[in-house]
A and B are shown apart, each in its own frame.
Chain A
Amino acid sequence: MIKVLFFASLREQLDCDAVDVAADGLDTIDDLRNSLGARGEAWQKALADERLQVALTQQLSTSDATLQDGDEVAFFPPVTGG
């Protein structure tokens, strides 16, 4: 399983803060993004935003990063803390 988290405006757009996804066939974060996008129009549209950032095992990462079963992945808009 891959645990996927969503934060802030993305979480509100999807009306979802977390999903578990079977790791089979998902080699990279891009694969995961495409698979999530197939859940419906809202998902497709929200996840197509190029400004979204992604974290793999709680470290900022890139769309070509390789996934392993048990990983935690988070998608979120650019951060605005401080």
Chain B
Amino acid sequence: MSVDISIAVQAEGFDPGAEYRQLRRANCEDGATAMFVGNVRDFSPDDAGGKQSVSVLELEHYPGMAESALTDIAREAAQRWPLGRVRVIHRFGPLAAGDEIVFVGTTSAHRQASLDACAFIMDFLKSRAPFWKKEVGVGKDGKTQGSWVEARSSDEQALKKW
């Protein structure tokens, strides 16, 4: 049976509860649902090992490629695991601390497939989907400043376990 894949790249917020209900709607063959939600932190580590406050996170994306990259990652997961449904949402634009950024939901007959597929999709999304974060906050000097988030080598490392 083919996997039901649904991808959204959007500025609007989303309701994780509503997404859960959609994953479960008329879906009695899947006994497991795994979900991940990523939210905006209100701080980022500074160079001195302390914390810098973040008031706005600006998410830039590559329209078109963002959707196709997420679709490719979801399809790859659907080939590796026996999944029922896959839902991925990624937001763009200015986001405030606490806002939801990303949602990944997977369903399967038994838990291991949905849990592994959910983690796999997040790991590949982190290193392969064209989104970039810019943190905007107020520095120690009281001035507003923005800085692009640097990619972490640990994210690239995370792909090796798959």
A8 CB–B CB distance under 8 Å: yes
A residues near B148, Cβ cutoff 8 Å = 8-9, 77, 80
Contacts across chains A and B counted by CB atoms under 8 Å: 72
Q: Is the CB of B150 within 8 A of A81?
A: no
B138 CB–A CB distance under 8 Å: no
A36 CB–B CB distance under 8 Å: no
Q: Is the CB of A80 within 8 A of B65?
A: no
B residues near A8, Cβ cutoff 8 Å = 60, 132, 134, 148
Q: Measured between C-beta atoms, what is the minimum distance from B89 to chain A in Å?
A: 12
A43 CB–B CB distance under 8 Å: no
Q: Is the CB of B126 within 8 A of A60?
A: no
Closest to B122 in A: A82
Q: Measured between C-beta atoms, what is the minimum distance from B99 to chain A in Å?
A: 14
Instruction: Digitize A61-79: 1 where CB-to-B-CB distance is under 8 Å, 0 elsewhere.
Output: 0000000000000101111
Task: Point out the residue from A9, A74, A78, A82 that lies within 8 Å of B62, measured CB to CB.
Answer: A74
Q: Measured between C-beta atoms, what is the minimum distance from A57 to chain B in Å?
A: 9
Instruction: Digitize B112-133: 1 where CB-to-A-CB distance is under 8 Å, 0 elsewhere.
Output: 0000000000100111111111
Interfacial residues of chain B within 51-108, with CB under 8 A of chain A in the complex: 59-62, 64-65, 68-69, 90, 101-102
Complex Cα–Cα for A48 and B50 (A)? 32
Complex Cα–Cα for A81 and B69 (A)? 12
Known: A7-B60, A74-B62. A79 touches B128 (CB 8 A): yes
Complex Cα–Cα for A51 and B127 (A)? 13
A contact set with B: CB distance below 8 Å: 5, 7-9, 51, 55, 58-60, 74, 76-82
3 shortest A-B CB distances, which residue pairs? A81-B131, A78-B151, A8-B132
Subset of 9 A-B contacts with CB under 8 Å: A7-B62, A7-B132, A9-B132, A58-B65, A77-B132, A79-B126, A80-B133, A82-B38, A82-B122
